[in-house]
Amino acid sequence: MMNVRSGEHEEFDYDDVERRMKGAVKALHHELAGLRTGRAHISILDPVTVEAYGSVMPLNQVATVSVPEARMLSVQVWDKSMAGAVDKAIRNSDLGLNPISEGQLIRIPIPELNEERRRELTKVAHKYGEQARVAVRNVRRDGLDQLKHLEKDAHMSEDEHKAWADEVQELTNKIITEIDEMLATKDKEIMQV
């Protein structure tokens, strides 16, 4: 099936629906990467934002994050005057990390996760997953509404509407399955001791 069907004036853009659904998956991937699993990874600090120079910006725009050891993160702050703000931002994040400041270098030991914290993290992961599913369903609803509108305005036949609606539902099912698989993988990673 072609990706764009056009009537006289309006058309259905399947590629846009697909792009928006994949955007929800990409956002979920980014959020899951920020969940700590007991091993150091630079993406753990992705959700951290720092008040710097009169605005709020991501940590990676004021410092370099590296992993010198399996259970240690190192944050090299570029501007010495920002070191305190970076330390504070890491402490105030919901990541449960306790940074050790040494001037412009901040070391962050990654503690072992206890069973209770692992369960909390799986709940957070599932919350992120549900947000992604809702986003995908909203995109599906928008696409189906657009199809109804095109059929109602005689820009599309009933058969075309049905065919595109089936395509949108098939894509939705595929993306939801992808989200579920990402969550299952993250659960396994979090619960691994």
CATH code, domain with 184 = 1.10.132.20
In a domain, 2, yes or no: no
**The pLDDT value given to residue 14:** 92
In a domain, 47, yes or no: yes
On whether both 119 and 183 belong to a single domain, the answer is yes
Can you give 59-119 as a three-state secondary structure string?
A: HHHCEEEEEEECCEEEEEECCHHHHHHHHHHHHHCCCCCCCEEECCEEEEECCCCCHHHHH
In a domain, 60, yes or no: yes
On whether both 187 and 119 belong to a single domain, the answer is yes
**The pLDDT value given to residue 36:** 64
On whether both 104 and 82 belong to a single domain, the answer is yes
pLDDT-derived band at 177 (thresholds 50, 70, 90) equals: very high
Q: Which of 65, 92, 109 is the last residue of a domain?
A: 109
Among 55-59, 72-76, 111-115, 117-121, which is the least confidently predicted range?
111-115
% pLDDT > 90, the chain = 42
**The pLDDT value given to residue 6:** 44
Q: What is the pLDDT of residues 11-53, one digit of tens each?
A: 889 999 999 999 999 999 888 877 766 677 777 788 888 988 8
φ and ψ at 173, to 5 degrees? -60, -40
Separation in Å, CA 96 to CA 17, 51, 77, 114: 37, 19, 20, 12
Task: Judge whether residue 3 has pLDDT over 60.
Answer: no
Higher pLDDT, 172 or 39: 172
Domain that holds residue 60: 39-109
Q: Which of 109, 130, 161 is the last residue of a domain?
A: 109
Among 41-45, 148-152, 174-178, which is the least confidently predicted range?
41-45
Taking alpha carbons only, the member of 115, 63, 116 closest to residue 89 is 63
Q: What is the pLDDT of residues 82-126, one digit of tens each?
A: 889 999 998 888 777 889 899 899 999 887 778 887 888 888 889
% pLDDT > 70, the chain = 93
Tokens of 177: 């399955």
Q: Residue 78 maps to which CATH number? A: 3.30.1360.40
In a domain, 3, yes or no: no
**The pLDDT value given to residue 193:** 62
For the chain, the domain total comes to 2
Q: Give me the mean pLDDT over the 167-171 stretch.
A: 96
On whether both 141 and 84 belong to a single domain, the answer is no
DSSP state at residue 45: G
Q: Give me the mean pLDDT over the 132-137 stretch.
A: 96
Q: Which residues of 80-102 are buried (b: 16+ CB within 10 A; e: fewer)?
A: eebbebbbebbeebebebebebe
H helix and E strand count, the chain:
4, 8
In a domain, 151, yes or no: yes
Q: Considering the chain, what is the average pLDDT of its residues?
A: 86
